[in-house]
Structure 1
Amino acid sequence: MAMEAEFEAAVEDRRPLLFALGCLFAAWREIGKHSEGRLTLANYALALGLLIPMAALQFQQAVGFLFWAGGTPFAISSDGDGPNLYLIWSQNSAIPVLLMTWLLLGMAHLCLAWMLVEGDWPRIVKCGTLIGASMITLSLFMGVLMLDLSSLKTQVVELAIEFVAMVSMSRWHIRVLAGASCDWLAR
């Protein structure tokens, strides 16, 4: 009620935007002082700094297939003899499946970032499982088609980093919630 009264006074002085900016700056000063605020900032940092760039990497792989200029969009893992004529049809037929898998991975990372910011841990586990299964399927599928797996090396390393970060974040979330519930019960 005090905030509403201050806002009414700011409206009468024709400075509601200044009042709102002051409230925003005060909230930013206070957010780091509380464990829930630090957790929220860390969730946003992880979502914006790791998960969304991973989604962009997956979309980049898909776009690389769509705009490939010369023949098959795959680097064949042979000894430089040229493409294997027996595999070209299979590899070209696999392009739509690989595109869908990379698009699925990109969308799953965007969903994972959204769920992390919301703190929906059951859905985060399901989405993480989908990402892991899709990545394993993609690497197995590319291996069976004798495609160059070097494009997956960085993605596997980044997925491992993402997994460790998500486990750390979930533990931090549990500690913060346990502390908040103890504080709430003490009142």
Structure 2
Amino acid sequence: MQAEFEIAVEDERQMAFAAGCLVTAWRDMHRHGDGRLTLASYTLGLGLFVPMAAVHLACVIDFLFVGTGVPGGALLAGASANPVLGWTQARSIPALILLWSSLGVGHLCLAWLLLNRDWLRIFKVGAAVGAATVTLLLLMAVLLLDTTVLISHVAMLAIEFIALAAAARWHARLISNASPGTA
């Protein structure tokens, strides 16, 4: 390969040589276990975690700008007519926005860590995302707010964690099957 590259340099076709190598590597990627894991990781990260982050951050934007025209208007649209409970619900908006934002950022971190295959940090960030989800669910339930949207997020989080566990097992299997010199 080095000799082919030197010939490409002499002909001033380094970019064409590099592009050919890239196309060949891309074409053969699915034939190797590590390549399949890489493709699956990118699919999971870009196809699941990034969209979930966008959904969580869209909830923040929804809380801030949609509804009655005041911050938290969409959240308070279904708020209680009870003045004490309504006051409590209105004062909880910053905490709810912080929790929704942390879920969005957490999902972006999970996507990034998945692509880096940093399983220890994935476990830590996943635990934080799970804790934030449970906290958000409990807070919304205590405030008597509509939790139906969040229930679907909890189900999606369970699917995400199952997919992460499968990817971690797959990676561990690849490492254990690799020869000692390539691990």
TM-score (norm 2): 0.90
**What amino acid is the match of 2:139?**
F
Matches within 5 A, 1:109-120: 109-120=107-118
**Secondary structure of the corresponding residue to residue 57 of structure 1:** helix
2:74 aligned with 1:73? yes
Query: Which residue number in structure 2 is paired with residue 91 of structure 1?
Result: 89
Deviates more, 1:66-75 or 1:113-122: 66-75
Query: Which residue number in structure 1 is paired with residue 34 of structure 2?
Result: 36
Deviates more, 1:62-71 or 1:48-57: 62-71
Runs of at least 5 residues in structure 1 that lack an aligned partner in the other structure? none
**What amino acid is the match of 2:158?**
A
Matches within 5 A, 1:53-72: 53-70=51-68, 72=73
2:141 aligned with 1:140? no
Shift of 1:11: 2.7
Structure number with the bigger relative contact order (C-alpha 8 A, sep ≥ 6) is 1
* Distance in structure 2 (CA, Å) of the matches to 1:58 and 1:184: 42
Runs of at least 5 residues in structure 2 that lack an aligned partner in the other structure? none
Query: Which residue number in structure 1 is paired with residue 153 of structure 2?
Result: 155
Match of 1:48 among 27, 46, 49: 46
Shift of 1:160: 1.2
**Secondary structure of the corresponding residue to residue 69 of structure 1:** coil
**Secondary structure of the corresponding residue to residue 86 of structure 1:** helix
* Distance in structure 2 (CA, Å) of the matches to 1:177 and 1:46: 20
Report the identity percentage: 47
* Distance in structure 1 (CA, Å) of the matches to 2:47 and 2:113: 15
Shift of 1:91: 0.9
Report the aligned-residue RMSD.
1.8
